[in-house]
Amino acid sequence: MSSSPLSTAQPTEDTFERLGRITRHLHEAMTQLGLDKSLHAITQEFPDARDRLSHVGHMTEAAATKVLNLIDGGQPDCHAFKARSQDFAAQAQALVQSLNAGGNAAALLAQGSAFGHAATQFAENQSLLLTEIMMTQDFQDLSGQVIKKVIDIISETEKQLLELLMHSAPERLAAIAHPKTELAGPQVPEKALKQNDVDDLLASLGF
């Protein structure tokens, strides 16, 4: 028994409506991401949410690079300070033994030797701390990969969902993507729709 036109049309309409809602939710989520207050202050010059997310990735990379450069500049000073402290401690200790001094002089030389040893340990600890900070900067590589992955997924998903809607409403799409007042010239499909065009398309389709 053949199915009626009504029974075959209903699933298509339901699918179309669900695709429209998914696309609308995705589009609104991208817009909210782009207008988030924590990102808006530093990326307000970027009009598109994906560009803003990409900008965050670039800023994270720049910050990590700056930290690494500062560490590279500080490590030599720590090594030099450690070496000089070791020399000072050794010389102070040798002076105490050679002079066989007593009283205040011996106490002062002993304090100087102790300070030299403490300064040496401090320089060593600071060097280890800088090394640890440098090792933790690998988060930037991971976060950069995640950000790029999210951007690619968002872009590809929105593109595919919009293409499905485009095939379902080619005439309304043409009216939006190619207004009569637009200058003549070849159109690249991926670039024909801008951010406002997506809103117009979804609105015209009832989503």
Q: How many domains does the chain have?
A: 1
Residue 90 falls inside a structural domain: yes
Nearest to 52 by CA among 68, 66, 33: 33
Structure tokens at 189: 């499909």
Residue 140 falls inside a structural domain: yes
Residue 190 falls inside a structural domain: no
Alpha-carbon span 64 to 6, nearest angstrom: 60
Residue 68 falls inside a structural domain: yes
pTM of the model: 0.42
Alpha-carbon span 198 to 49, nearest angstrom: 13
pLDDT confidence of residue 163: 67
How far are the Cα atoms of 51, 130, 192, 195, 202 from residue 173, in angstroms, in the given order? 24, 57, 10, 14, 10
Q: How many CA atoms lie within 13 A of 38 on its CB side?
A: 3
Domain carrying residue 56: 10-169
Residue 175 falls inside a structural domain: no
Residue 183 falls inside a structural domain: no
DSSP state of 205: T
DSSP state of 194: -
Cβ–Cβ under 8 Å, residues 137 and 99:
no
Residue 177 falls inside a structural domain: no
pLDDT confidence of residue 144: 77
φ, ψ of residue 48 in degrees (nearest 5): -110, 140
Cβ–Cβ under 8 Å, residues 123 and 82:
yes
Is the model's pLDDT at 200 over the cut of 70? Answer: no
pLDDT in tens, 106-124: 777 778 888 888 888 888 8
Is the model's pLDDT at 70 over the cut of 80? Answer: yes
Residue 117 falls inside a structural domain: yes
